[in-house]
Structure 1
């Protein structure tokens, strides 16, 4: 692993956060007296494609395209059924909350989930000195709003960890729960689940120079590290994938269809059209 040293200082420049007072409301000066747990206030001031934005809305309500939306777009374009994998999403969401936002984690909300496994995975991560350092010196669960330059489409993403936020060399870290028990198998799953597309999308949102996927095995007390530079073949192929999908979404004006299917959690087969094929 060749990730740069993590700075201990924090900054919201280029990233989206919400400043709170002791009661969980926005501080004076933000001018939005809403509960911070339900809304985000976005302020991006980075150069080039990032612009200054002030938004008050739930992240999931934002009418922007995310990497998950691109998965829905793939099913629409190929006219194959899509069903959101609820069990996997619930497990992954609970694990991320326990690891990255422990103040929000509640065991009573983990119905039908293996709590012992969740805590075992959590201990596997925090007992690793490299991961421990990342968790201590990083921006967590940051929402990024950006405009993808080749398509002009407004996009969004929520990054697990960002290190080196005050430098010109930020890096994106993403934790993945996985059923694999070896590095080779995890690398294979990266292709199967299009993690190259996801990490390219994430990297380009903040001009990150490096990305690191950390696989957390559900079956063994093991971690798998896949680190890539932004000019690697892995990221280049992922970038090709997401830019192609964005162009098709734009050409066919699939925005409203994607937003509907996102809310519905599934996509059902329609009569195929030559435009999609």
Structure 2
């Protein structure tokens, strides 16, 4: 299968996150490979924060797909009404949706953010593949702005003033590095504070990309050790450090 056919198939989320897409590593694997390589490929448990983030992305990038989300009028997920209506499924609460709609309006009301997101020569949810450290990697960019030659990623944060710390904790540095290699453009984060709705636009320094590259190298080393070394016994693996 040639690259164009692969990218066309990865455009579909079922293939991107399914068995076909699992042939490729992605930034979401970085944390697992660096902390618990044996857990690679295990499904992650859905969380309210992840669901809220997904709705926010969809509201800005693909508003026609918002109908796929189930929304329940309830004060919390512990009420009897929520448990009956959700049927055990993780659902959005109406007040969460109301907040996301306010955040969406805030982002798109800002001229700079709107121009970056709603420009003319733009791709949304664009997949890419490349080889890094001798391994195949994939990614799907929120926004590729070809006029500005930028990859733009939308983030929500609990505290905008701590986004630098979050960027390291949640491996946004390795994301920026991988995506810059996938698409050949610089990487920019558009971030909104979930409490204050303050906006931030964060570009990436050479040092930020370098830290991301270092994580990719270390993650690739772990992958090769745990999954490509025939004589390796994971039961004998341990971390040795001096305190």
Same fold per superposition (TM over 0.5): yes
Quick one: distance in 1 between partners of 2:109 and 2:50? 24
The structure 2 residue matched to 1:89, chosen from 50, 63, 83, is: 50
Quick one: distance in 2 between partners of 1:112 and 1:139? 27
Is 1:273 paired with 2:235? yes
Q: Secondary structure at the match of 1:105?
A: helix
TM-superposed deviation, 1:273: 3.4
Is 1:214 paired with 2:190? yes
Change in Cα spacing, 1:252 to 1:40, as seen in structure 2 (3 Å) is closer
Matches within 5 A, 1:15-164: 40=10, 58-61=15-18, 62=21, 63-77=23-37, 84=45, 86-106=47-67, 108-110=69-71, 111-113=91-93, 114-137=96-119, 138-148=122-132, 151-164=133-146
| Structure with greater helix share of residues | 2
Match of 1:200 in 2: 177
- Unpaired stretches in structure 2, ≥5 consecutive residues: 72-90
Match of 2:210 in 1: 236
TM-score, length-normalised on structure 1? 0.65
Relative contact order (alpha carbons < 8 A, sep ≥ 6): 1 or 2 greater? 1
TM-superposed deviation, 1:136: 1.8
TM-superposed deviation, 1:115: 0.9
Quick one: distance in 2 between partners of 1:160 and 1:215? 13
TM-superposed deviation, 1:200: 1.1
Q: CA RMSD in A?
A: 3.3
Match of 2:81 in 1: none
- Unpaired stretches in structure 1, ≥5 consecutive residues: 1-12, 19-38, 43-55, 255-270
TM-superposed deviation, 1:218: 0.9
Match of 1:45 in 2: none
TM-superposed deviation, 1:41: 6.2
